[in-house]
Structure 1
Amino acid sequence: MQLRARHIARNVLFNWLGTLANMAVGFFFAPFILHRLGDAAYGVWVLAISVVGYLGLLDLGMQSSVLRFVSKGHTTGDHQASSEALSAALWIRLQLSGVGLLLSAGLAAVFPIWFKVPPALASDARKAILLIGLTTAIAMSFGVASAVLSGLNRYDLQNYVGLTQTAIRVIGIVFALRTGHGIVAIALCELVATIVSSVLLVLTAHRLYPELRVQLKKPKKETLRKLWVYSSYAFLTTIAVQLVYQADNLVVGAFLSATAVTYYAIANSLCRYASGLVGSVGGTFVPAASTYEAAGDTAGLLALYKNGTRATMLVSLPILITLVVRGRTFIGLWMGPQYSQQSGTVLIILCTALFFSFANRTAASVAYGVEKHKTSALWAICEGVANLALSVTLVHWYGIYGVALGTMIPSLIVHLIFWPRYISNLVGLSSFEVIWNVWGPLFLAGVPFAIASYAVSTLPVHNLTVFFLQILATLPVFFLTVALIFRGYVRQTVMPRVRSLLFTRA
């Protein structure tokens, strides 16, 4: 059990490493790309990625199916079942990748017509979309190897490959932009990095699981049925995520301009970074929830929900409060003062929804862990459709702020009404207790930190180093408040464990 716990801890550590590395690259790289390309070209690049990003829906949730069946087959020694699942997923993905390439060609043709792309950038936009489409097709086809590594619990090797891909991409893009090239060169760098990482994933998966035998022939109906039954609701959730995170940029590009996409994307990217960091915490609760549910341990499941939610909010609240209170200042220092007002206002609107979305991350993990995610997937689809409809409606009245409001309103409805009631049925906790006892103390702990952040914001700040030092100076306010609110838990649970650990080592 101890070795297993260490293995899980190692996987979590490497997931955090991969997430933080990607966040760091995105954070420091975005200003470089923006100022090298300019507002219009950067907006076109964001639009191109967003449009082609919808081709990821062709995955149909197969990645999660491969992970499940490879893990199960490897554990039980049923390598034939693992091979059949992998072969079926690859067979499907290769065909869907072909469809994706055709769709990319169509998107490239209509892209400058659908969106307000400057005529000088129309040709480059078409070429970039074709390259991004090819990159997506390759990643989709050979992504099954990544699922094999996940199924074998080798997140360390998976993240090593991911870091290698990131390094190749960064080096290539820096060279391309410094030598005067544009979005076509960036897309080419993405393609090369994906090809290299795909080859590494395939070789690594084969070395770790040599018993796998891939056969590119039509799978058995029973194998296809098993894959689809498991992946169908994951597919619905993927659609919802695409609608929520990609549709906004497309609406801005279609109804406003490519330059406006840049202003919106700056704020949206910060929300994605925060979401990725919080998601690295919540994702680790899915297998734990499955274990408690299988053992009939309802008390353990309830404790997992409470403690997991508190841990997630402990990570997310300082980030969100800082973005809301000091987001405009941060964007001005990060991207440039010309983006502070508009992007900062969009950031405040989007973060308002994230306060409650992040509070429900553990609830979503519990639902997936006990296989009760059908209803949540349907609600996620409703949220995505409402997001798109409201954004299209409000963009005419309020511009990019209307698009942000179109995202915020459905999210608040889902996370304030649906999730507290839904999780109460799963863990035996009333909606009132969820909001008052689980969320309430952490939100209360955030109030002094918000006040301190606002007070510090009146001080002069001329660069990001000073900004981050000010954040570090105010963080103790939050954690001391948390310790004060949960002093009974700290005294009765945490301190005895610390003393036991120290005594054992002594």
Structure 2
Amino acid sequence: MEKPDITMEPLKSKSVVTNISYAVLEKTLYSVSTLILVPIAVKQLGMDVYGIWVLYCSLAAFFLLAQFGLSTSFERFIAAYRASNDHEKLMRVVATSFYSLCVIAIVIFAVSALCAEHVISWFAGTQVSRYQELLFIWFMGINAVMLVNQIFMAVPRGYLRYDISSFIGIAARLVETGLSIAFLLTGSGLAAFIWGLGASCVISTCAGFWVTSRTLGKWPIAPRMFSGSMLLELYRFGIYTQASFFAMWASANMDKLIISRLFGSYYVGLYDIGTRIPLLVRNTFSLIFAVLVPRASELFATGARNTLQRIYRHGSRYLAILSSAAAALLIPTAGSILELWLRKPADRLEIFVFQAIMVGVAVQLTAGIGSSVIRGVNKPYFETIANTGMALVNVVFSLSLCLLYGMNGVAWGTVLSLVAGTIFFEVLVNRELQVDQSSFFLTDIAVPFLWSLACTVAGVFVFPLLCSRFFMDVSPVMALAASVCVYGAALCGLTAVFYRVIGYVSLGEIIGVFRKKIL
């Protein structure tokens, strides 16, 4: 029987720029909702209880590592089989992944439920109540269902239709945020987060399954489509990213677990507040290069190596410009931004963590394009090697520096691991893509960061003067907001002029991207 033409299915591919736009829109909404939710949670719960919730999230992320990188292979294989018009293998990918994730989710939920009391009590440094233990078990149950939903959400992304997955994500996030705030204000405590996340899980899972059914057939998870050989193929790709998963978890959560054990949940809350905005910046920027994985896979399949090199070099350059500029904007204004966000003077620890993590995030983001390209060309073990080293360095440095310098040392341990892991990974990618090492680091990376370093040093002296000398006739909140905006506008203007004068960026190339002529 003739195979159906996948290009005639309801999901027709969108351009990379369109996918980036929708993905950034989703992440922007997520960032804004988080900025709204966190101060309300801290006010209603107190920093100690909020720190317990942060501990829940860190432990849940650890238990979810048991999928061993399976979910990272979905988009890549769906995009490849769609490009080759192989409908049967598409069905096998979805069915095999679904049943495999169901088994993994059940195991994760069972183990986390059995270990909940002992694990939470050990990291919290005190005995937790039965109520808090039950909340964690419910939380893990919701996360298990969301793990299974990853295969459904991967279908539109594999078809290069991030607009659909973004719309679902936006709807789910709005419901989650609205319900969480409502229950927080009515005094539900930590259960407010559970109700909001549960509703979000139901919406995204039902919508994801509906989209998958419309695309691949009425019942895309038929048991007869399960394939052991397909599962091995998926794991053969995904297992290499397990170290990346662990490294991401370690860089985002190891600090909090160390602080929770040594200093208590109150300081976990403070530390989390300091990392929130830098990590939101990283997550938002990551969408710019995450959508390149299917495109890189297509280019690799067609042998367009020169195009891959151009995307890698030019994309890394522009990403370095954006990430370093973000650091130059946020580091001098960290205290003011936290005060505007929390509506109270920021703690010195929060400010220090904010500034330190922002340095590491800015450097780490420069490897984003290389990460997507390497995944697209089926070489995920490059990330495995680099991220394994980064995770080990993070654990060793964070623990060692914590003993020497307290919580400030924990932050510096994370920063050093991010910088070391990023540089090592970029060296590996350059060798694979046959890119000149010195040209890449000196031209594409060093120039933006040296300029942003100069801007940051100037900003440390200029921004306080801007706050104290201008906007004296308005309220303190408006004065801080106006100062940040003026400083940001001046920084952006000077940066644009600088790069234009030295001929570092091509306006025609940027226009070509948005006119869909390059990507």
- AA paired with 1:435? F
Q: Give the Å deviation of 1:299.
A: 4.3
Q: Give the Å deviation of 1:250.
A: 1.2
State yes or no: 1:29 paired with 2:43: no
For structure 1, the 5+ residue unaligned runs are none
Change (3 A) 1:305 1:242: same
Q: Give the Å deviation of 1:129.
A: 0.8
- Deviations, residues 456-500 of structure 1 (Å, cap 9, x unaligned): 233148655544433332334444334333436489x5369979x
Partner of 1:434 in structure 2? 440
Please give the alpha-carbon distance, in whole angstroms, between the structure 2 residues aligned to 1:262 and 1:251: 13
Alignment of 1:259-274 (within 5 A): 259-274=266-281
Please give the alpha-carbon distance, in whole angstroms, between the structure 1 residues aligned to 2:511 and 2:274: 41
State yes or no: 1:255 paired with 2:262: yes
State yes or no: 1:191 paired with 2:191: no
The answer to which of 129-138 and 284-293 deviates more is: 284-293
Partner of 1:92 in structure 2? 100
- Give yes or no for contact 2:274–2:353 (8 Å, CA) kept in 1: yes
Please give the alpha-carbon distance, in whole angstroms, between the structure 2 residues aligned to 1:142 and 1:290: 23
The count of residues paired between Structure 1 and Structure 2 equals: 496
State yes or no: 1:487 paired with 2:501: yes
Alignment of 1:96-495 (within 5 A): 96-116=104-124, 122-210=129-217, 213-216=220-223, 219-290=226-297, 292-294=299-301, 296-335=303-342, 337=344, 339-416=346-423, 418-447=424-453, 449-451=455-457, 453-454=459-460, 455-458=462-465, 459-460=467-468, 465-474=478-487, 475-487=489-501, 489=503, 493-494=506-507
User: Match for 1:12 among 11, 20, 44?
Assistant: 20
Change (3 A) 1:432 1:480: same
Q: Could you say which structure has the greater relative contact order, defined with CA pairs below 8 angstroms and 6 or more residues apart? A: 2
CA RMSD of aligned residues (A): 2.9
- AA paired with 1:423? V
- AA paired with 1:411? L
- AA paired with 1:227? L
SS in 1 for 2:347: helix
Please give the alpha-carbon distance, in whole angstroms, between the structure 2 residues aligned to 1:375 and 1:427: 12
Please give the alpha-carbon distance, in whole angstroms, between the structure 2 residues aligned to 1:130 and 1:5: 39
Please give the alpha-carbon distance, in whole angstroms, between the structure 1 residues aligned to 2:20 and 2:86: 27
- Give yes or no for contact 1:236–1:381 (8 Å, CA) kept in 2: yes
Please give the alpha-carbon distance, in whole angstroms, between the structure 2 residues aligned to 1:496 and 1:320: 25
- Deviations, residues 350-405 of structure 1 (Å, cap 9, x unaligned): 22222321222223233223333313312201211221233233323322212112
Q: Give the Å deviation of 1:422.
A: 2.2
Please give the alpha-carbon distance, in whole angstroms, between the structure 2 residues aligned to 1:314 and 1:379: 23
Q: Give the Å deviation of 1:325.
A: 1.5
Change (3 A) 1:449 1:409: closer
- AA paired with 1:134? G
SS in 2 for 1:457: helix
Identity %: 17
Please give the alpha-carbon distance, in whole angstroms, between the structure 2 residues aligned to 1:6 and 1:476: 35
Please give the alpha-carbon distance, in whole angstroms, between the structure 1 residues aligned to 2:86 and 2:306: 34
For structure 2, the 5+ residue unaligned runs are 1-11
Partner of 2:9 in structure 1? none
- AA paired with 2:78? V
